[in-house]
Chain A
């Protein structure tokens, strides 16, 4: 565990030292605030009759589709690509491979670093959206529900990160890997949306995991197969990614 934590600290440190993630986070925060201002402006231009509490209540919940389906996956693709294929290409992967740490710990520490980066960004965007909601006179309605939704959505996010980590083991070029991740992700999203027969079987269909738990009163046992499916995807992506990483030579 000690070596895993050492490796995780290093991976997080490397991500922290890349300014593009900070810039990306600032852009995400600006978009969240802008979405609040947009609804206020539209309300003002139309008749302005709707109360601020009504239009801004649950601002984070209305931002979640953008954050979960676009912002965080893009962030995860970039971070996974930087930590895996990027290091392979510029030979810096050797820095870690020459240290006394198992390849399994190295692989999962990199995946955990990508996940923690996404989780941190989600937390920051939650805080920004909440502050914007309260600050612009939207009250505190839906804040706790949004928090619960964010926490629940971390589960499919972890599976998505493992999926991107696996893709990073398949291709050598950085740009090609990013492209492949994006194309596959969009392909899975489209497939899940337009092919209802397979929609329930594709893991990207569960990225808004909170929808199953909040607002829809499904019995717990009917959710068990979906939990199993997501766990299965995570297990397969994690194991295959590790096996391919283990065979890598630097």
Chain B
């Protein structure tokens, strides 16, 4: 299998001492990898480092064989939705897609219409994003991430702000793209059940450290659920201190 993403001893420490330390893992094409950890465990830090939004303190990141510092090459096949989508309040959904499309040759109006349809925002294409609800902004962020038909999607809490129906739809979109088009996903969430429903592999993060990186089957071999798996890993780390 092709390796899409490699993190080699990556650390990113912020001034307050938080961040992520010594993270090493790689992701193969078509996999759906879940980053599982509580708030402040370093999930977003890792994702920001992969997308070049922040620079690692140590270590190297390669995306499709190119170092992430080579932004034009590394980010060409990457779609990302990190934290809240970055949307201009005074611009419409269509404006955002047009601006993003300028960076990707081959993205035409039909593709823009298609991604709006996928995320269910076609009726709102001419509305300003400042008027969007949190869930609509999240969908818009996903539309922007999908626009260039990326081979690697990095999604940070993708169901944040979505209702139950939209959450299920989002999950189905991820699984369908992974299965039918071989798109690789790196999905971060603090909800073990969400990760369990869509991921092939799970990476557990806790207080900036990587506790494990197993396939879902391995994780569930000795544990009834990913939630139990996560708690077991945290207990191991803490020396069997009850949470």
Q: Which of A17, A90, A95, A102 has the most chain B CB atoms closer than 10 A to its own CB? A: A95
Chain A proximity of B131: nearest CB distance (Å): 15
- Give the CA-CA distance A205 to B179 in the complex, in Å: 64
Question: Is the Cβ of B86 less than 8 Å from the Cβ of A101?
Answer: no
* Interface hit among A3-11, A138-146, A195-203: A3-11
Interface residues of B in 80-100 (CB under 8 A from A): 80, 82-84, 86-91, 95-96, 98-100
Question: Is the Cβ of B53 less than 8 Å from the Cβ of A97?
Answer: yes
- The residue in chain A whose Cβ has the minimal distance to the Cβ of B89 is A90
Question: Is the Cβ of B72 less than 8 Å from the Cβ of A101?
Answer: yes
Which residues of the other chain, B, contact A211 by a CB distance below 8 angstroms?
A: none
Chain B proximity of A222: nearest CB distance (Å): 44
Question: Is the Cβ of A3 less than 8 Å from the Cβ of B103?
Answer: yes
Question: Is the Cβ of A249 less than 8 Å from the Cβ of B48?
Answer: yes
Question: Is the Cβ of B86 less than 8 Å from the Cβ of A100?
Answer: no
- Give the CA-CA distance A10 to B98 in the complex, in Å: 9
Q: How large is the interface on B (under 10, 10 to 19, 20 to 34, 35 or more residues)?
A: 20 to 34
Which residues of the other chain, B, contact A14 by a CB distance below 8 angstroms?
A: 88, 91, 99
The reply to whether the CB of B51 lies closer than 8 angstroms to some CB of chain A is yes
Which residues of the other chain, B, contact A91 by a CB distance below 8 angstroms?
A: 83-84, 86
The reply to whether the CB of B75 lies closer than 8 angstroms to some CB of chain A is yes
The reply to whether the CB of A226 lies closer than 8 angstroms to some CB of chain B is no
Question: Is the Cβ of B75 less than 8 Å from the Cβ of A10?
Answer: no
Question: Is the Cβ of A18 less than 8 Å from the Cβ of B75?
Answer: no
Which residues of the other chain, A, contact B76 by a CB distance below 8 angstroms?
A: 100
Which residues of the other chain, B, contact A249 by a CB distance below 8 angstroms?
A: 48, 53-55
Which residues of the other chain, A, contact B53 by a CB distance below 8 angstroms?
A: 94, 97-98, 249-250
- The residue in chain B whose Cβ has the minimal distance to the Cβ of A247 is B55
Interface residues of B in 46-94 (CB under 8 A from A): 48, 51-55, 71-76, 78, 80, 82-84, 86-91
Chain A proximity of B103: nearest CB distance (Å): 4
Question: Is the Cβ of B87 less than 8 Å from the Cβ of A95?
Answer: yes
Question: Is the Cβ of A92 less than 8 Å from the Cβ of B86?
Answer: yes
Which residues of the other chain, B, contact A124 by a CB distance below 8 angstroms?
A: none
- Give the CA-CA distance A103 to B54 in the complex, in Å: 12
Which residues of the other chain, A, contact B86 by a CB distance below 8 angstroms?
A: 91-95, 98, 250
Question: Is the Cβ of A92 less than 8 Å from the Cβ of B71?
Answer: no
Which residues of the other chain, B, contact A99 by a CB distance below 8 angstroms?
A: 75, 100, 103
| A binding-site residues for B, Cβ under 8 Å | 2-3, 6-7, 9-10, 13-14, 17-18, 90-95, 97-103, 247, 249-250
